[in-house]
A = this chain, B = another copy of it.
Amino acid sequence: MDTSKWGKNIILGNNIEIGENVYIGHNCIIEDNVVIGDNTFIDSGTTVRSFTKIGADSNIGSNCIIGEYWMDFYKDHEKHRHDLTIGEHGLIRSGSIIYAGSTIGDNFQTGHQVTIREKAQIGNNVSIGTLSDIQGNCKIGNYVRLHSNVHIGQLSVIDDFVWIFPYVVLTNDPTPPSENFVGVHVHSFAIVATGSIIMPGLDLGQDCLIGAGAIVTKSVEAYAVAVGNPAKAISDVRKVKNKITGEPVYPWREHFGNYMPWDGIGFDAWYASLNVAEKSKYTLDNIVE
C-alpha cells in the first residue's frame, strides 16, 4: 500500500484492506472494515463507511458517502453491520449517497447527487443519472439505464435492458398514506419516457413505450405505446417510424446498441450466441419472431 501520493488529512479506520495502486484524496474518511480493490480512485472529501466493499478499477467522485447509515445508527450511534458490495469498474460521480446494505454489480455508473437507499439489488452495467432517488428495497436488472431525476419506489422490479427517462416515478402506495406497498414491474426492453408516473402494482410489458407525461393507471401490454392522462394504448411500437427516415424504430434493440452487449454485432447475432440458460434468463424466447 503506497500512500505517498495520497491526499492530505485522510482519516483511516481499522481493519481496512486496500489493494494495489489505490488513490485516496484529501479529507477522505475511510471507516473500519472497508475493502477497496486494486486501481481504485477515491476523490477528495468522500466518506466510505464500515462494511463497504468496492471492487477493483472503480472511481468514486468527491464528496460522496458510500455505505450511508440506516436508521438504526441514529438510535444508538453503533455501526450495525449491513454489507454494501459494489462491483468492479464502477464510476460513482461526486455528491452521491449510497446506503449500506445493497448489492451493486460491475460497471455501475451514476451521475451526481444520486441517492440509493438500503436493500437495493442492482445488476451489472447499470447507469443511474444525476439526482435520481432509488428508495431501496427494490430490484434493478442488468443494462438498465435511468436518466436524471428518476424516482424508484420501494418494491419496484425493473428487468434487464430497460430505459427510464427524467422525472419518471414508479409509485408503490395504492391508498396513500399506507404501508401496503405494491411495486411496479417494468419488463425487459421497456422504455418509459420523461415525466410519466406509473401507478402502484402495474406491469409495464416487455418492449412497451410509455409516452412523456403519461399517467399510467392500468398495466400496459408488451409492445404497446401508451400516452395521456390517464394513459391509453394508442399503437404498437413496431408501427412507429422515424419521422425523418421513415424507418421503423422499435424494438429498439434491433436499431441501437450503444452501451449494450450487442454493440457492433447487432442484437440478433448477440442473442444467437447465448446458451439456453442465458436466453431463458433474458426471457427473450417470445421476443424474437
| 28 A-B contact pairs sorted by A residue (CB < 8 Å) | A8-B9, A8-B11, A26-B29, A41-B74, A45-B47, A47-B62, A59-B74, A62-B65, A63-B65, A65-B95, A68-B94, A130-B133, A131-B133, A135-B148, A145-B177, A149-B149, A149-B151, A151-B166, A163-B176, A165-B176, A167-B197, A169-B194, A171-B193, A176-B191, A178-B252, A195-B215, A197-B212, A212-B215
Tell whether, in the assembled complex, residue A194 and residue B194 are in contact, meaning their CB atoms are under 8 Å apart. Answer: no
- Copies of this chain present in the complex amount to 3
User: In this complex, what residue of B is CB-closest to A41?
Assistant: B77
Tell whether, in the assembled complex, residue B163 and residue A177 are in contact, meaning their CB atoms are under 8 Å apart. Answer: yes
Contacts of A266 in B (CB 8 A): none
Q: Which of B62, B77, B169, B252 contacts A166 (CB 8 A)?
A: B169
- Interface window among A79-87, A107-115, A271-279, A280-288: A107-115
Tell whether, in the assembled complex, residue B112 and residue A115 are in contact, meaning their CB atoms are under 8 Å apart. Answer: yes
Residue A18 at the B interface, CB < 8 A?
no
Q: How many residues of A contact B (CB 8 A)?
A: 69
Tell whether, in the assembled complex, residue B91 and residue A74 are in contact, meaning their CB atoms are under 8 Å apart. Answer: yes
